[in-house]
Amino acid sequence: VIQRIFYTVNRSWSGKITCNELRRSNFLQNVALLEEEADINQLTEYFSYEHFYVIYCKFWELDTDHDLYIDRKDLARHNDYAISNRMIERIFSGAVTRGRKAQKDGKISYADFVWFLISEEDKKTPTSIEYWFRCMDLDGDGALSMYELEYFYEEQCQKLDNMAIEPLPFEDCLCQMLDLVKPRHEGKITLHDLKRCKLTNVFFDTFFNIEKYLDHEQKDPFSMLRDGEGESQEVSDWEKYAAEEYDILVAEEAASDQWNDGYEAELNPVDHQKASVLKYQMEKRPFFEMPSHLADVDLAEYDYDEDFE
């Protein structure tokens, strides 16, 4: 609750909040809203626990050495290598990252990953549009030229070729994207053009996310236009994604706990005691320590029944 209060007031952890800041942030109305809602995760105006849990699990999955930083190879594994390498390079170039860690050591922090994931899963918000526009604007002139669009589309074509899918020629793809965005000035697409577009997610996915690009290709274009016109969308793409991923993570955790409980229940008292000792030793062992010798099993020492299939 304290975190939500500071987030609402837009303050850092300085420990002081002035009366004027409370008035500007409608603090009392927000507190009343929190008190009325039994399940705080239902308040989409706030960054809920479900959102945090999903982001942290995704980050922890990519951060294989668990040093709380991820590099290019780690980020490339996100969503089964769906994002192009050229876009990954742009993210680490400093176009959208803060601090010097990304440029110096080639790593981004958890905070940078938060911006990345939310922008990746909801490409319709002004913040995410600015995020990806900066990445695609290679020369930083404030406009996307046809050269920059072709630069990112080339890798998409290579991926489609590897999947035995014939890619659309760039000229045809360009015509589709220009019809989609309807830029005010010929030969370039500005940030303002993309913010006016109702289907910016389709535009961005076409140039650097192969999985979502294929999903869009399989959908009815008229249905996508209807979805884009629904500006008063009650649930955003990010909220949908977070809710779905949270349910999956909770189900996987429950299934894992159920399997472990069932396995321990089938053990006889002696085996159960051995398993408890092993579990105790594993819990005592530091998280980053190498597996113990108890895990070294030579399958050649075991004799299988001849009729075993």
Mean pLDDT of all residues belonging to the chain = 77
Q: What is the mean pLDDT of residues 29-36?
A: 50
Q: Report the Cα 252 to chain-centroid distance in Å.
A: 18
Whether the pLDDT of residue 31 is over 50: the answer is: no
3-state helix, strand, coil in the chain (%, to 5): 65, 5, 35
153-179 pLDDT tens trace: 999 999 999 999 999 999 999 999 999
Torsion angle, alpha carbons of 39, 40, 41, 43, to 10: 110
Which tokens is 30 given? Answer: 């927000």
Per-residue pLDDT, 28: 45
Start and end residues for every CATH 1.10.238.220 domain found in the chain: 1-47
Helix (H, G, I), strand (E, B) or coil at 188: strand
Torsion from C-alpha of 128, 130, 133, 139, nearest 10 degrees: -150
User: What pLDDT band is residue 44 in, cutting at 50, 70 and 90?
Assistant: low
The pLDDT value given to residue 219 = 82
Record the tokens describing residue 260, joined without a space: 């472990």
Which two tokens mark 3? 């975190």
Mean pLDDT of 61-78: 94
Give ∠ CA 210-212-215 in degrees, rounded to 5: 110
Predicted confidence band of residue 104 (pLDDT cuts 50, 70, 90): confident
Give the three-state DSSP class for 166: coil
Looking at per-residue pLDDT, the higher value among 45 and 27 belongs to 45
* Cβ atoms 170, 206 nearer than 8 A: no
pLDDT of residue 100: 72
**Secondary structure class of 152 (helix, strand, coil):** helix
CATH of segment(s) 1-47:
1.10.238.220
SS3 237: helix
Q: For residue 10, list its beta bridge partners.
A: none
- Which tokens belong to 111? 């905070």
Structure-block tokens of residue 170: 């760039």
Segment 209-223, tens digit of pLDDT: 999 999 998 886 655
The CATH number that domain 48-219 falls under is: 1.10.238.10
Residue 8 is predicted with a pLDDT of 46
**In the chain, what percentage of residues exceed pLDDT 70?**
63
Q: Summarize the confidence of residues 179-202 as an average pLDDT.
A: 95
- Per DSSP, helices labelled H in 37-141 are 49-62, 72-76, 85-91, 101-104, 110-121, 126-136
Amino acid at 114: V
pLDDT of amino acid 98: 74
288: buried, middle or exposed (CB in 10 Å: 19+, 13-18, 0-12)? exposed
**Residue 161 near residue 167, CB atoms below 8 Å:** yes
Judged against a pLDDT cut of 90, whether residue 224 lies above it is answered with: no
pLDDT at 23: 47
Average pLDDT over every residue of 41-50:
64
Q: In the chain, which segments carry CATH 1.10.238.10?
A: 48-219
As a whole-number percent, the residues of the chain with pLDDT over 90 amount to 52
Distance CA(63)–CA(110), nearest Å, equals 10
In which element (H, E) is residue 144 found?
A: strand 143-145
DSSP E strands in 151-287: the ranges are 188-190
pLDDT confidence of residue 124: 94
Q: Tell me the HSE value of 61 on the side-chain side, using a 13 A CA sphere.
A: 12
- pLDDT, position 257: 75
Ranges 125-129, 199-203, 268-272, 298-302: which has the least confidence: 298-302
With 50 as the cut, is the pLDDT of residue 189 above it?
A: yes
